[in-house]
Amino acid sequence: METVALIAIAVFLFTYALIVDERIHRAVAAMFGAAIVVFIGIVPWEALLEHVDFGTIFLLLGMMIIVNTARGSGLFEYIAIRTAKLAKGSPIRVLVLFALVTAVVSAFLDNVTTVLLLTPMLLYVARVMKLNPVPFLVTEIFASNVGGAATLIGDPPNIMIASSAGLTFNEFLIHLGPIMVVDMAILLLMMYLIYGRSMRVSPDERQEMVRMLNGLDERAAIVDRSLFNKSVAVIAFVVLLFFIHDRIGEILHIVLPFVDPAMGLEPAEVALIGAAILLFWSRQSPEEIFEKIEWPALFFFGGLFVIVGALVETGIIASIAAVMVENVASTGEAMFIIVWFAAIASAIVDNIPLTAAMIPLIHDLGTTMDAYPLWWSLALGACLGGNGTAIGASANVVVIGIAEREGIGITFVDFLKVGMLVLFVTVAVGFGMLWLKFAM
Amino acid sequence: MGYSSSLIQRKFKDIVGRRYESVLKEYSEFLLTEEEILVPEVRSILVPLDFFVHDITDEAIDVLSAYDATISLAYITDAGVVEILERALDRPSTEEFRAKKEEYGRKLLERTAAKLEEHGLSTQTRMFVGHKGDDVVQMAKNHDMVALSRRYADGESTDASISPIVLRICQRVETPALIY
């Protein structure tokens, strides 16, 4: 093997080890690794611009602007209080409703913001009910990862896959949506079987909880009514645009004949258009909103793309793909390997760097076999694999981190026991459904 | 702190930054703290009434309903006023004034008790001539809470301010006080 290839592998492994350990900020680790491969010429400037997936970065950027602008209106707190009140004092209903709301919100907005804003409310409700909050928190984590897997914009791995493979929002809904609905039902059943017995409260306690929660005024959570309404309208418009982004030209052509009917919008363009509309309409200070953009996350993605690009440039990814092609007999077998490798590896490494490394591999596999089912296998494995360990996905880290700060211990092993069970069951069901669709 | 715990905290810090602190601040505007969640045991609530308290508001009844407590309604006629009248008027006129006051007080007590009982609250009533401030402070010692109308012992003013007697009672009583 050539020296540059060895260096590319060393930088890749060293950076990924730093990301797993996080003693150095993940964005800094990724940028440093990228700097090495650029400095020694493994990834020249022209190739760097090709490897950095600006579709992913601009989609994340646009959604961050929308979410951060909407956040200022109190929208998420409003949703959290309404959900708590709807439960009417029943712990099981709290668990189910918060899981469903988390899943739906995570499907359309980013998982980290969703759990960051719903977890304090969930902890409050658990405290009022005088119940152990752990079952509610772990269910919220799993629901966030399952919900996020259902759409193109729900989870970073899906965004990366869609941008790289040119998949549409509706394709995600068609291929992954039904799987996630089934997985969500199974997840809720599993949580009920595991924790249901510990969630009983007396009628007096239930009455007390209803009284406490009814005392909360969801309207008080809305700090800016006008921004609240505008945020809801723009988010609804953006979601609508996502549904039609690949055939927007056909629709626009009817009212604006000069628009090319073949025109489609990239998901990143939809997000940036939505961000521009919300900023323009709401008159929020752009300085304040842009300050809230998670720049470290964007640089983290950029660095990862360059580091993985070094593996592509040195032919390592192509070699791995060749070995796989030689040893894989059918599409179904390739799907099996990708789903389970992605699921287990993303539970260890975090699903974002795992997906970044897997995308070029699938592109290479696509030269000799149909890559289409493989993209869904990767999305399924990477998103649901995040449920396996406490560090498998960002939502896990956020919820467990909040719990620790509030004095609630969810140990790595405790999470692992339930997480791995959820991982294996949901991935197995999902793989079965994908296999029936693409490999039968 | 074990490795996994410090790992989670490192990752949490890198992913969330300072956003969690701002979320907590936003929530603190309308969520109760741990201390506030604990409902004090309230078995009896004193509700003083007088000529200037015409009704007990629905909002106040909602709050009182939250406790499984007996409501003690006390109608107090100001002893100072009776003394002045006794000095200024003849005995029959004073007696007539007292009788009219007692009649008004009795009707108010009955009406208020009936309204509270409609909401499932148990009540007891009491009527006497005394000092509206001092006697309430004294009686509050035997109750777990005192609920005061902002108009109590004030007069028929139409502004929204709280009666000075009510403020003074709040400063002197040791039990929790609710102003409605």
CA-to-CA distance for B12 and A87, rounded, in angstroms? 29
The answer, for B84 touching chain A at a CB cutoff of 8 Å, is no
The torsion region of residue B153 among left (phi > 0), alpha (psi -120 to 50) and beta comes to left
Question: What would the mean pLDDT of A102-125 be, rounded to a whole number?
Answer: 91
Q: Do B15 and A112 touch (CB under 8 A)?
A: yes
Whether residue A361 contacts residue A151, with contact meaning beta carbons closer than 8 Å, is answered with: no
* pLDDT above 90 (res B80): no
The residue type found at A183 is D
What average pLDDT does the structure give for chain B? 85
The better pLDDT of the pair A440, A280 is held by A280
- The pLDDT score that the predictor gives to residue B159 is 65
CA-to-CA distance for A432 and B10, rounded, in angstroms? 37
Residues of B in contact with A127 (CB under 8 A): 34, 37
Q: Do A401 and B11 touch (CB under 8 A)?
A: yes
Of residues B5, B17, B34, nearest to A404 (C-beta): B5
Counted across chains A and B, CB pairs separated by less than 8 A come out at 81
Max distance between CA atoms of chain A, in angstroms, equals 73
Predicted ipTM?
Answer: 0.86
Whether residue A385 contacts residue A346, with contact meaning beta carbons closer than 8 Å, is answered with: yes
Least Cα separation, residue B90 to chain A (angstroms): 54
The answer, for B19 touching chain A at a CB cutoff of 8 Å, is yes
Task: Choose, out of B6, B9, B18, B23, the residue to mutate when testing the contact with A (most A CBs < 10 Å).
Answer: B23
Question: What would the mean pLDDT of A244-270 be, rounded to a whole number?
Answer: 93
* pLDDT above 70 (res B39): no
pLDDT band at B12 (very low <50, low <70, confident <90, very high): very high
Least Cα separation, residue B138 to chain A (angstroms): 31
Question: What would the mean pLDDT of A433-438 be, rounded to a whole number?
Answer: 94
Q: Does an H or E element contain A343, and which?
A: helix A331-349
Name the burial class of residue B126, with classes exposed (0-12), middle (13-18) and buried (19+) by CB atoms within 10 angstroms of its CB. Answer: middle
Residues of A with CB under 8 A from a CB of B: 21-23, 25-27, 74, 77, 112, 116-117, 120-121, 124, 127-128, 208, 211-212, 215-217, 220-221, 223, 294, 296-297, 390-391, 394, 397-398, 400-402, 404-405, 411-412
CA-to-CA distance for A72 and A116, rounded, in angstroms? 14
Query: Which of A153-162, A197-206, B3-12, B138-147 is predicted least confidently?
Result: A197-206
- The pLDDT score that the predictor gives to residue A154 is 92
* pLDDT above 70 (res A437): yes
Residues of A in contact with B66 (CB under 8 A): 211
SS3 state at A358: helix
Of residues A215, A217, A401, nearest to B16 (C-beta): A401
Residue B42: φ, ψ to 5°? -125, 110
Query: Which of A21-25, A155-159, B90-94, B156-160 is predicted least confidently?
Result: B156-160
What average pLDDT does the structure give for chain A? 92
Q: Do A120 and B23 touch (CB under 8 A)?
A: yes
Q: Six-digit token pair at A260?
A: 């090319």
The better pLDDT of the pair B86, A164 is held by A164
Q: Do A77 and B24 touch (CB under 8 A)?
A: no
Of residues B11, B23, B39, nearest to A116 (C-beta): B23
- The pLDDT score that the predictor gives to residue A36 is 96
- The pLDDT score that the predictor gives to residue B155 is 67
Least Cα separation, residue A116 to chain B (angstroms): 7
The pLDDT > 70 percentage for chain B reads: 91
Of residues B19, B34, B66, nearest to A127 (C-beta): B34
Q: What is the pLDDT of residues B120-177, one digit of tens each?
A: 889 999 998 889 889 999 999 999 999 999 888 886 665 667 888 888 999 999 888 9
Q: Do A411 and B37 touch (CB under 8 A)?
A: no
